[in-house]
A and B are shown apart, each in its own frame.
Chain A
Amino acid sequence: MSLAPAAWRALLRPGDVLVVLGGLLLCGYSLMVLWQGGRPDAAIVRAGGKVVAEVDLRTARIIDVPGPIGTTRIEIQPGRARVAADPGPRQYCVRQGWLTQAGAVAICAPNEVSLSLSGRGADYDSLNY
């Protein structure tokens, strides 16, 4: 009884190899379908609590939102969005950088502007995780 790799390979029949490959394919497919949760679909921009823009994340664009103390610049790119510039004194929402997960939120409180990403599988928002 030898344990050489060739001896084991001889036990595999052509159909067996196909079944193994099929199993691995099913594995990869289920991985892609089931574990892609959290990918954002759209960005929602609010000013003073009202939705001023709801854009999909497929094309790059820049949205300027006026607020009480100035203009907040929102930058959208495929799959992500950020607050590029804000007149607020502490710049918290700008420093948050790119938002990439569904449910992520950047709030520029002084200028009353918020940017949030919506999508399927948004289990939590970035305010409470």
Chain B
Amino acid sequence: MTRSTIELVPTEKDRRIARHAAAAIVLTVAEAAIPLPLPGVKPGLANIVTLIVLARWGWREAVWVALLRVLAGSLLLGQFLAPGFFLSLSGAIASLVVLGVAMHLPRRWFGPVSHSILAAFAHIGAQLVVARLWLVPHDGVFYLLPVFALAAVVFGLVNGLVAARLLEELHGAAPAASKASATSPER
């Protein structure tokens, strides 16, 4: 067998992204096992990983992790290129855009909980628009908005709190990137 002439040497950053994406994928698959009352209302546990990556390693890595998670998660669940895949993809892109803006809010006042809730609203917003334009061409989908908005607040709050908690733990355990130095000082 001839040796390949192309050698891909993964950098430390690549490995880090892969590790975080793997954690997010595990959460996605685990979450798929939870029975849910309404299609579309999901805790979005994998976003905890996105929030942590955003806080510790910045927006670009968060984008990688979130999009890899959507892609690999859909492959594992047999949803790739199915309507559900495009809904999660649109939601992920919208929430990443909002996170990119929200991360520049003053850190003294706005923590992971704010990021999480704002991203959750972007998520449902984009999903409803895609669903309205493509899957359910009727204004009836907007009747679900109050339910989705409530879910965004509740799950956004829970995910944000978990992410903030884990960030504290990680901050105590390992020297993080400079961006993480601003996590809440009180313990």
> A-side interface residues toward B, CB under 8 Å?
1, 8, 10-16, 19-20, 23-24, 26-27, 30-31, 34-35
Please state if B111 and A1 are interface contacts (CB–CB under 8 Å): no
**Closest CB of chain A to B117's CB: distance in Å?**
5
Residues 136-148 of chain B: 1 if any A CB is under 8 Å from the residue's CB, otherwise 0? 0000001101100
Q: Give the contact stretch, choosing among B7-15, B16-24, B81-89, B153-161.
A: B153-161
CB < 8 Å neighbour of A30 from B109, B111, B145: B145
User: Which applies to chain A's interface (DSSP): helix, strand, loop or mixed?
Assistant: helix
Instruction: Kindly state the separation between the CA atoms of A12 and B153 in the bound complex, as whole angstroms.
Output: 14
Q: Known contacts A8-B165, A11-B165: does B111 contact A23 (CB below 8 Å)?
A: no
**Closest CB of chain A to B16's CB: distance in Å?**
24
CB < 8 Å neighbour of B114 from A10, A15, A30: A15
Please state if B168 and A16 are interface contacts (CB–CB under 8 Å): no
Note all chain B residues with C-beta closer than 8 A to A16: 110-111, 113-114, 117, 160
> B-side interface residues toward A, CB under 8 Å?
105-106, 108-114, 117-118, 121, 142-143, 145-146, 149-150, 152-153, 156-157, 160-161, 164-165, 168-169, 184, 186
Query: Nearest CB to that of B156 among chain A residues?
Result: A23
Number of A-B contacts (CB under 8 A): 69
Note all chain A residues with C-beta closer than 8 A to B165: 1, 8, 11
Please state if B113 and A20 are interface contacts (CB–CB under 8 Å): yes
Please state if A31 and B146 are interface contacts (CB–CB under 8 Å): yes
**Closest CB of chain A to B142's CB: distance in Å?**
6
15 CB contacts below 8 A, A to B, read A8-B165, A11-B164, A13-B109, A13-B114, A15-B105, A19-B114, A19-B117, A20-B117, A20-B157, A23-B117, A23-B156, A27-B146, A30-B146, A34-B142, A34-B145
Query: Nearest CB to that of B163 among chain A residues?
Result: A11
CB < 8 Å neighbour of A15 from B106, B145, B168, B186: B106
Please state if B110 and A11 are interface contacts (CB–CB under 8 Å): no
**Closest CB of chain A to B83's CB: distance in Å?**
23
Instruction: Kindly state the separation between the CA atoms of A24 and B152 in the bound complex, as whole angstroms.
Output: 9
Note all chain A residues with C-beta closer than 8 A to B161: 8, 11-12
